[in-house]
Amino acid sequence: MKTKTDDTISFRECIDDLYKNDLVKSMKHIEHHKNVSCFEHCLKVSYISYRIAKRFNLDYISAARGAFLHDFYLYDWHEKGSHTGLHGLNHSKISLNNAKRITTLNKKEVDIITKHMWPLNPAFPKYKEAWIVQMVDKFVTLKEILHI
């Protein structure tokens, strides 16, 4: 893959292998927020994070990839018995384990996936890209819940 300094990498090129993955595609059948699939939510967060990171000369590839996998937990959290523990506290670890099954992750992508629920999960994001994704995730979630 090209380096983060190559401005010719499009959003789709950053996530293409993930976008085509059957497990990732299965997120299309998991409701996330009010008639928005987990796939659609992750795609929105990924695209906005990519744009912001690229605008500020950050690692937009890691931002896009980490954001696309941040809610890769593969169960309907609305259904009782579909998961153990509190979804808000546990799904980032489950998403990370699922992501590791389909791709190699760099340290920024791991940080993005595991810390996107800050401050609910108390560990601070370490990288600027992770801060971007966790803020974009909250923005997109609010828009989805309020139907904006």
Compute the average pLDDT of residues 67-88. Answer: 69
Which is higher by pLDDT, 32 or 77? Answer: 32
Compute the average pLDDT of residues 7-36. Answer: 91
Domain containing 55 equals 11-145
Q: In this structure, are strands 31-33 and 36-37 parallel, antiparallel, or unpaired?
A: antiparallel
Domain at 102, CATH number: 1.10.3210.10
Number of structural domains, the chain? 1
Domain assignment of residue 106, yes or no: yes
Which is higher by pLDDT, 119 or 59? Answer: 59
- CA distances (Å), origin 99, targets 13, 35, 55, 66, 127: 18, 24, 26, 9, 19
Domain assignment of residue 1, yes or no: no
Quote the pLDDT of residue 57: 97
